[in-house]
Structure 1
Amino acid sequence: MGFQYLLFHGTYTVPVATVLTVFYYPFFTARDIGKIVLINILAVTCTIPWDSYLIRHHIWSYPADATLNCTLFAIPAEEVAFFVLQTYITALLYCICSKPLVQPMYLRSDSPRWTRDLGGGLISAMFVVGLACFVTGGRSTYLGLILIWALPVVLLQWMLVAPFIISVPWTATALPIALPTVYLWIADRNAMAAGVWSIEAATQLNCHLLGLEIDILTSNREMLFFLLINVMIVFGLVGFDYACAMAEYNNICTGGGPRPSPQDAFKDTLRTVTHPPRIEERVVTDLQQAVARLHAKSQSMFLGSALFQGPLRVDLIYLYSFCRVIDDLIDEAHDANEARYWIEECRRCLDARTSEKAGPHAVDASERSNSSSSCSDSSRKKVLLHGAVDALPLARLRVRPLYDLLTGFEMDLAFTTSPADKPPVFPITTEHELDHYATCVASTVAELVLDLVHHYHHDPQTYDRTAMAHAGREMGKALQCVNIARDIHRDATIGRVYIPTEWLVEAGLTPRDILEVPSSPAAYAMQAKLLAKAEGLYAGVRAAIEDLPGAVRGPVRTTVESYMEIARYLREKRGESLEGPQKLRLSLGRRVRVAWRAML
C-alpha cells in the first residue's frame, strides 16, 4: 500500500479543482450543479468499463506501492477519483468561460448541412483507423482502444448539436478543452516518470524522427486521451446548454406562460433536441443586437444580467435594450423636435403593442417589411426602435412605468427647447425635481425589473411586493444620482446640467459655470454631494434586497453594487473623473471582484 497516487492528486488535481471552486463558488447556479453532476455520472459510467478492460488486459498497470489497493472493477480508487476530478475541472472551466453567453443567440437556422456531415465523416474515418489499430494489435493497440472508445460518443454529440457547437464562441469551448488537456498531460508525464502508473511497452506506439526515438503515447493519459475525453465533456455540456437555449427560444417566440412541471419540462427538452423547431433568424438577430447593445452601453447591466438565469435573463436584456435604444435616440437627436418625434413614435408603438389586436412581433413585422429596403438613417432608426419595442415582454410587465419612462425623457427636452437668442433653460431647479426626474428615468426601470422577478419567482410568502416596489424606486433614484455624478462632463457637452440649481446657488454658482468648466473644483463638490445623496438612498433600502427570492437576490445585489462601485471609484478619482467627456468604465478585474463579493 502506498500514497504516491494520493500525492499526485494533492499536487495536481485537487489544488486546481479547489482554486476553480473558490473562484466560481458565488456564481454557482442550480443549472451549473445539474450539468456538472450529470456529466460526471456519464463520464465515470462510460470510463469505468473501458479502464477496467485496459487494466485486466495489462495495458495499464499501477505499482502495488503506489495506491491504497482499494479497487472498483480492478480500478484503483484513486483512478476513479481522477475521472471525477478531471471531469469536474473541465466542466467547471466550461461554466466559467460560458457564463457571459446568452445561449439562444447562438441558435442557427442557416448552418450548412455539409459542415455537420464533413465533421461527422472525419470522426467516422478516425474511428475506422481506431478499429484497424485495435485489430492489428501490438504497438497500435492502445491508440485503437482510445479511438474506438471515445469517437462514437463524440460522433453522436456532433451530429446532434454541431451547428450550436460551431456557433458558440471558441473561448467557451476550445479553452475548456485545451487548457485541461495540456495541464493534465504535463502532470501525467511527471507522474509517469515518478512511477505512479505505467503503460505496457508492447502497446505503445513509437516513431523515429531524425534518428531519435519518440514515444507518441508516453503514458496511459497522454495528450490524445486527455484531448478526446475533454472534447466529450465539453460537447456534452454544450448539448445541455443547447437544450436550455431551445427552451428559452421557445419562451421568446410564445411570449412565455405558466412554468411546466418537471416531467413536462423534461419531455419538452427531449422533443426539442430530437425534433428541433425551425429557428427564425429575425428572433435570433434581435437578441444578438440587444445583447451587443447592452454590452457596449452598460457594462454594469450586462454583468448583472449574466448572473440571472433562463427566460428572466432574456427578458431583462430586452428591457435594458429598449431603454438604451430610446435613450440614445433622444440624446443623439439633432434638435428637440427630432427628439420629441422619437418619444411620440415610441409611445405610438407601445400603444400598438398594448392594444388587444397586437400580438408578439406584430409591430416589428409590419415595420420591417415597409422599411427594410430603405437606407435612410431615419428609417434605420425607426426599425431599430420598433424592434426594441416589439421585443419587450409586455405580457410580464406593467405598462404604466414604460409611459412614465417616456415622461422622464420628455424632461430632458426642456434643456433644448429655448430659442438661440434666449438664455438656456435648466429645468431641474430643486432637489425635489431631481427626485422626480430620477423616479421617471430610473425608478421606473427598477419597477419593471421587479415585475419580471415577480413573474418568474412569485412567492407571496417571500416578500411584501408593495414594500419591495418602494425600495426599488428608492434604489433607482440612488443609481440615477450615480449616473448624473459620473456624467457631469458628458452632459455639459450637450448643454445639460442635472445638478439642482438651488445646490449651485448655495455654492455661489450657476448652471452656466458647470457648462463652461465641468471639471472645476466646484463641479467636484457637486459630484460629491450627488454621491452622498446616492449613498444615503442606497443605505436606506439596501436591506430590502435580502428579502428577494434566493435565485435573484445575488444577481440584483451584484447589479446594484456594480453601480455603487462606480460611486466609490469616483470618490477615489476625485480631481480626475471629470477631466473628459468619455464614459467612465471600471476594469474587468474590479467588476469581477465586486460581483464575487456581492454574490456570496
Structure 2
Amino acid sequence: MNIQPHDSASRDEAQGIAVGSSFYTAMRILPRAQRDAMFQIYSFCRQVDDIADSDGPRDVRLEALQRWREDIDALYAGHPPARVRDYAGPIAQFGMRREDFLAVIDGMEMDVPADIRAPDAATLDLYCDRVASAVGRLSVKVFGLPDDDGILLAHHLGRALQLTNILRDIDEDAGIGRLYLPREGLFHAGITSSDPNVVIEEPALPKVCAPLVAQARMHFQKSDEIMARNKRRNVRAPRIMSKYYRAILELLVARGFALPRDPVRLGKVSKMAILLQYAII
C-alpha cells in the first residue's frame, strides 16, 4: 500500500493514515512539500512494519524485507521500481540518506527470525535506533534542521518515543509473543522468566519499568534542549510529537505499571492544547 497525502481527511483515513493521531496532526501543519515527503516516509515505514508484524511464515517475511532492501538500493542507483518511484523526488529535494531507509528495514527485521523477548540493553538500544531514530534521521532532513542538531534530535527523540511505546504496549506486545523490556532490568527485579505472559503478571514489573521511564525522560529533556536552540518553524512537528508522547509517558507513570493496567490515551482536549501551543499560536 502506497500512502499518499491528500487534502481530504477521509481519504487519508481510508488509506491507513490514522486521522487524529499524533503523527497525522504533527505532519498536517507542514508546508506541502515537507508534508508530502513525510507521508512518503510514513508509507515506507508502514509497509515494512506490516511485513514484520504479519503472521506469515518467517522465511517469507524475511524475503519480503530483502526485496525492500533491493528496491531501496535500486532507487538510489537511479532506476527505482514502481513502488518506490514516488520517493525519488523527496529524496532529491531533502537529501534523505539510503543508510537510514535500510536501517529501518534492519530494525523491522529484528522481530522476524524470532520474536524479541527480553533483549539485553545494547540490543534494545540498537532496536530503538533502527525503528525510531533512523526514522528521525530521515525526518529531520525534511524539517530542515542542521545536520549536527538533526542527528542529535533524531537520536534522543527517537529513543524517547520508542521507550514510551514499549512502556505503553507491554500487554499488547505480550499478546503477540514479544517482550521488549531489557534482560538486565528483569534480572535486577528478580524476574528470571522471559515469557511475556509470565512477565506481565509479575508483581515486580514496576521495578523493571522505572529505569525505562527515567531513560525516556532524559531523552525528552535532551530533545527539548536541542529544539530550543533551533528555529521554531523547523521544530514545530517534532515538538508536537514530543509533547504528545511526553504526556502519554506521564499518564503511564500516574497510572502505574502494576496490575490492573488500563489502556492510556491522550484526550482530545490535551491534544488540542498542544496543537494550539506549537502549531497555531
The answer to whether the superposition gives a TM-score over 0.5 is yes
Q: CA 1:502/1:513 → structure 2, altered by over 3 Å: closer, same or farther?
A: same
Task: Kindly state the Cα deviation for residue 451 of structure 1 after the two structures are TM-superposed.
Answer: 1.1
Find out whether 1:317 has 2:39 as its counterpart.
yes
| Unaligned segments of structure 2, at least 5 residues | none
Tell me what 1:428 maps to.
Answer: 119
Tell me what 1:535 maps to.
Answer: 217
Tell me what 2:154 maps to.
Answer: 472
Contact 2:73 2:98 in 1 (8 A): no
1:412 to 102, 111, 128: 111
Task: Kindly state the Cα deviation for residue 565 of structure 1 after the two structures are TM-superposed.
Answer: 1.4
Q: CA 1:427/1:520 → structure 2, altered by over 3 Å: closer, same or farther?
A: closer
Measured in 2, the distance between the counterparts of 1:304 and 1:469 equals: 19
- Aligned amino acid, residue 315 of structure 1: A
**SS of equivalent residue, structure 1 residue 452:** helix
Measured in 1, the distance between the counterparts of 2:77 and 2:13 equals: 24
Tell me what 2:268 maps to.
Answer: 588
Q: Equivalent residues in 2 for 1:548-587 (5 A)? A: 548-575=230-257, 579=261, 584-587=264-267
Measured in 2, the distance between the counterparts of 1:577 and 1:293 equals: 32
Show CA shifts across 1:63-101 (max 9, x none).
xxxxxxxxxxxxxxxxxxxxxxxxxxxxxxxxxxxxxxx
Tell me what 2:27 maps to.
Answer: 305
Contact 2:227 2:239 in 1 (8 A): yes
**SS of equivalent residue, structure 1 residue 293:** coil
Measured in 1, the distance between the counterparts of 2:9 and 2:122 equals: 48
Relative to structure 2, which stretch is displaced further, 501-510 or 329-338?
329-338
Q: CA 1:498/1:492 → structure 2, altered by over 3 Å: closer, same or farther?
A: same
Relative to structure 2, which stretch is displaced further, 546-555 or 346-355?
546-555
Query: Which protein is bigger by CA-based radius of gyration?
Result: 1
Tell me what 2:100 maps to.
Answer: 401
Find out whether 1:293 has 2:16 as its counterpart.
yes
- Aligned amino acid, residue 249 of structure 2: A
Measured in 2, the distance between the counterparts of 1:465 and 1:514 equals: 39
Measured in 1, the distance between the counterparts of 2:266 and 2:261 equals: 16
Find out whether 1:494 has 2:176 as its counterpart.
yes
Show CA shifts across 1:297-335 (max 9, x none).
x81111111222221112112212221221122112323
Measured in 2, the distance between the counterparts of 1:495 and 1:104 equals: 34
- Aligned amino acid, residue 495 of structure 1: G
Which gives a bigger RCO, structure 1 or 2 (Cα 8 Å, sep 6+)?
2
Contact 2:5 2:35 in 1 (8 A): no
**SS of equivalent residue, structure 2 residue 234:** helix
Contact 2:178 2:196 in 1 (8 A): no
Q: CA 1:575/1:541 → structure 2, altered by over 3 Å: closer, same or farther?
A: closer
Find out whether 1:347 has 2:69 as its counterpart.
yes
Q: What's the TM-score, normalizing by structure 1?
A: 0.42
- Aligned amino acid, residue 487 of structure 1: D
Task: Kindly state the Cα deviation for residue 560 of structure 1 after the two structures are TM-superposed.
Answer: 1.4
Contact 2:205 2:257 in 1 (8 A): no
Q: Equivalent residues in 2 for 1:236-247 (5 A)? A: none
Measured in 2, the distance between the counterparts of 1:326 and 1:345 equals: 10
Tell me what 1:443 maps to.
Answer: 133
Q: CA 1:311/1:289 → structure 2, altered by over 3 Å: closer, same or farther?
A: same
Contact 2:252 2:264 in 1 (8 A): no
Task: Kindly state the Cα deviation for residue 441 of structure 1 after the two structures are TM-superposed.
Answer: 0.9
- Aligned amino acid, residue 16 of structure 2: R
Q: Equivalent residues in 2 for 1:215-294 (5 A)? A: 288=11, 292-294=15-17
Contact 1:426 1:511 in 2 (8 A): no
Q: CA 1:436/1:295 → structure 2, altered by over 3 Å: closer, same or farther?
A: same
Contact 1:565 1:594 in 2 (8 A): no
Contact 1:443 1:472 in 2 (8 A): yes
Task: Kindly state the Cα deviation for residue 570 of structure 1 after the two structures are TM-superposed.
Answer: 0.9
Show CA shifts across 1:162-188 (max 9, x none).
xxxxxx679xxxxxxxxxxxxxxxxxx
- Aligned amino acid, residue 254 of structure 2: E
Contact 1:482 1:567 in 2 (8 A): yes
Contact 2:117 2:196 in 1 (8 A): no
**SS of equivalent residue, structure 1 residue 496:** coil
Identity within the alignment, % = 24
Show CA shifts across 1:137-163 (max 9, x none).
xxxxxxxxxxxxxxxxxxxxxxxxxxx
Task: Kindly state the Cα deviation for residue 357 of structure 1 after the two structures are TM-superposed.
Answer: 3.0
Measured in 2, the distance between the counterparts of 1:565 and 1:471 equals: 19
Tell me what 1:78 maps to.
Answer: none
Contact 1:415 1:495 in 2 (8 A): no
Task: Kindly state the Cα deviation for residue 512 of structure 1 after the two structures are TM-superposed.
Answer: 3.0
After the TM superposition, which segments of 4 or more aligned residues of structure 1 sit over 4 Å from their partners? 288-291, 575-578
Q: What's the TM-score, normalizing by structure 2?
A: 0.85
1:336 to 58, 75, 94: 58
| Unaligned segments of structure 1, at least 5 residues | 1-102, 107-167, 171-287, 365-385, 417-424, 455-462
Contact 2:133 2:155 in 1 (8 A): yes
Tell me what 1:105 maps to.
Answer: 6
**Backbone CA RMSD of aligned residues:** 2.8
Contact 1:475 1:538 in 2 (8 A): yes
